[in-house]
Amino acid sequence: MKVLLVDEVHENLAKKFEGLGWVCQEAYDWSREEVLERIHEYEGMIIRSKFKVTEDLIQRASNLKFIGRSGAGMENIDLLAAREHNIQCFNSPEGNRDAVGEHALGMLLQMFNHLSKADAEVREGIWNRPANRGNELGEKTVGILGYGFMGSSFAQKISGLSCEILAYDKFKSGFGNELIQEVNLEEFKERTEVLSIHTNLTPETRGMVNYHFLKSFKNPLYLVNTARGPIVPLDDLAGALKEGIVLGACLDVLETEGQSFEKMQSSPGLEELLKSDAVFFSPHVAGWTHESNYKMASVLAGKIIKAFS
């Protein structure tokens, strides 16, 4: 089995493949044209977020048996074209679920306890205790939108704070347990006070959490997005924040990110949000800890080996 590693992943993946006698070719510095020219030589392909697997590439991949995405989202793979050419696609959300859950909780605790502001003030010699009193997250009803690996991990992490936890997932049912209440969308909007987004990016979810969606909730919201940026239009979020529909937001992902998540571009909505003390940012690192980098590659290798060895 010859495998092309287009994006850099943890070295343990290649070690596992090579232990079976498979040949791994690193192509981290190849141009897209080089990949297109030589993809027919390979039976497997490993990517992360930088490389987009389009139909024209798949048509040239006459020997390709699998595509492995180290990570969760698979929006950069033409899954329909892959299926039509009998190419199996794998991902590894099990590997970074804990990282995402911890990061989402950390951002919420940062927001509710004014930790960024308090830290900055103390470093400037300002000791203002009254203005930095926090609010207890445990007093809120948390609504989880999307209850897959990431949503369930976040529920487990936040359950220790005694929050009331709701979850809504259009494509799943029967997942309610001692930690969370499974509810329909109407009840979800009626009761949620903290909204944490954990859905995949699909044509249906792109732009889903817009102004009208946010306004349809009964309570003013605190919002967390550690899923994908385009799910939340930034202009709409800025408008909802200005009107008090959203009280605060934690954004690890942005609508204006590049495809590979390596940079962000400006927009009117983002500029407004950057001015707000009620919005907290991180650079799309929720699922990318040192530990998850290893686990994502290991889980992915295990799935592929099980399917083909």
- Domain shared by 33 and 53, yes or no: yes
Task: Name residue, tokens 């800890």.
Answer: 289
- Domain shared by 49 and 109, yes or no: no
Return d(Cα 137, Cα 240) in angstroms, integer: 21
- Domain shared by 65 and 156, yes or no: no
Task: Name residue, tokens 């697997």.
Answer: 53
**How much is the pLDDT for 262?**
72
Give per-residue pLDDT as tens, 44-59.
Answer: 999 998 899 999 999 9
- Domain shared by 156 and 169, yes or no: yes
Q: Three-state SS across the chain?
A: CEEEECCCCCHHHHHHHHCCCCEEEECCCCCHHHHHHHHHHCCEEEECCCCCECHHHHHHCCCCCEEEECCCCCCCECHHHHHHCCCEEEECHHHCHHHHHHHHHHHHHHHHCCHHHHHHHHHCCCCCCHHHCCCCHHHCEEEEECCCHHHHHHHHHHHHHCCEEEEECCCCCCCCCCCCEECCHHHHHHHCCEEEECCCCCCCCCCCCCHHHHHCCCCCEEEEECCCHHHCCHHHHHHHHHCCCEEEEEECCCCCECCCCCCECCCHHHHHHHCCCCEEECCCCCCCCHHHHHHHHHHHHHHHHHHHC
- Domain shared by 182 and 220, yes or no: yes
Give per-residue pLDDT as tens, 84-133.
Answer: 999 999 999 999 999 999 999 999 999 999 999 999 999 999 999 999 99
- Domain shared by 140 and 48, yes or no: no
Mean pLDDT computed over every residue of the chain = 95
- Domain shared by 21 and 110, yes or no: no
pTM listed for this prediction? 0.93
- Domain shared by 65 and 145, yes or no: no
What CATH code is carried by the domain that includes residue 135? 3.40.50.720
Going by pLDDT thresholds of 50, 70 and 90, the confidence category of residue 218 is very high
Instruction: Give residue 49's Cα distance to chain centre.
Output: 12
- Residue ranges making up the domain that contains 35: 2-95+290-308
Q: Please state the domain count of the chain.
A: 2
Return d(Cα 158, Cα 142) in angstroms, integer: 9
Q: Say if residue 288's pLDDT is above 70.
A: yes
- Domain shared by 125 and 250, yes or no: yes
- Domain shared by 131 and 216, yes or no: yes
Going by pLDDT thresholds of 50, 70 and 90, the confidence category of residue 258 is confident
Tell me the two tokens of residue 232. 């939340």
